[in-house]
Amino acid sequence: MTKYKQLILGIIIGILVTATISYADEIQTYMAELASFPVLVDGKTVNLDMPAVTINDRTYLPLRAMGDVLGVSVNWNTEKQQVEIGKEKKMMEEDTNKDLFITINGKEYINILGVDRICSKNNYILSWQGGNDATQWFTLQSSEISDMQRDQIIGKLNLQESDVKGLTTEEIKIKYGLVIYSKTLSLFPDYSEFPYMTRAEYEHVVLPFMSK
């Protein structure tokens, strides 16, 4: 009987060891650095309960904390072992004029929020920074490019790492036309707390970029 117990115990240990090794093979270790830059939502700095980090030139933010800031629910489904994110289905009362062109000082503009919604519908990511004491800039890139790692971008451009030595991933994307980077936004506090883009830039830069 003792021999049978030893045999069964040996089989169980063997299964556990094999399972542990197989699971360990799937684990990857990454070196993360604390991000030194602030996180802004709608032009305002937010304090997160967990710090933002960078891994391979990409920024990672704590999901639940960002969900709280953006008003999106983030839950862990224990039964299915998965993270579930859901947007609240509610009507937002917004000033529809934000989506329209307006004339300010003889020039036509569109509010950045209107541009953002249009870009999102076309699977493009628009990022911007405003504020009276900051340079008003925006970047625009496709969701596909945003999700790519550095080596994937270099491969897409048929380059070698030596060709882009000294450049960050974002600098590579800007240099080779995968991202628009512009410092041409304008602030008009009497109209909106958010910056404006000229109609000319929207129609001759943003729209053609999304159509290529």
pLDDT, position 112: 94
Give residue-wise pLDDT tens across range 150-205.
999 999 999 999 999 999 999 999 999 999 999 999 988 888 889 999 999 999 99
Question: Residue 35 — left, alpha, or beta (φ > 0 → left; ψ -120 to 50 → alpha)?
Answer: beta
- pLDDT of 32 > 50? The answer is yes
Show me where the domains of the chain are located: 33-87, 96-211
- 49 pLDDT above the threshold of 70: no
Strands (E) across 121-160 are located at: 124-129, 137-142
pLDDT at 126 over 70: yes
pTM for this structure? 0.53
Higher model confidence: residue 13 or residue 51? 51
Binned at pLDDT 50, 70 and 90, residue 69 comes out as: low
Query: Which candidate, 192, 205, 139, places its Cα nearest to that of 168?
Result: 139
* C-alpha gyration radius of the chain: 24
Which residue has 């090794």 as its token pair?
21
Average of pLDDT values for 111-128? 94
Mean pLDDT confidence for 116-134: 86
Nearest Cα to Cα of residue 48 among 65, 26, 24: 65
Per the prediction, the chain carries an average pLDDT of: 77
